[in-house]
Amino acid sequence: MTYFTPPPPPGVPEVTVDQLAQAQAGGAQVVDVREPDEYVTGHVAGAVLIPMAQVVARSGELARDGPVYIVCATGQRSGKAAQWYRSQGVDARNVAGGMKAWIAQGRPVVEGLDPT
């Protein structure tokens, strides 16, 4: 199943689920901006939960030495978060289709609050 996602905000690079999987396998930083009740039902292994409402307050937690992949349910919230992170000098990239696309491709998910 293909999910429609609107284009990311201007200036925000967008990556596919395949590109996220490659980056994740290489140890890239992944941030999930969904709410905790969404995150616990299934997230990308290693994805750190920073709910959208905490993005600004917790921006100091992000590494700034490489790309950061931002994911949500469909790519909308993550696009907005990535746009803000980029304004702060973070190389943030929006994951097109978000977790819905990840799951639709049969990619593995981790349940619970632990990132791994």
Query: Is 12 among the catalytic positions?
Result: no
Given 33, 55, 72, 81, which residue is catalytic? 72
Strand pairing class (92-95; 14-15): parallel
Per-residue H/E/C for 85-99 = HHHCCCCEEEECCHH
Q: Tokens for 17? A: 């689920």
Q: Identify the CA nearest to 65 among candidates 48, 85, 90.
A: 90
Helices of type H across the chain: 17-25, 36-39, 76-87, 98-104
User: For residue 8, how many other CB atoms are within 10 A of its CB?
Assistant: 22
Question: What residues are annotated to the active site?
Answer: 72
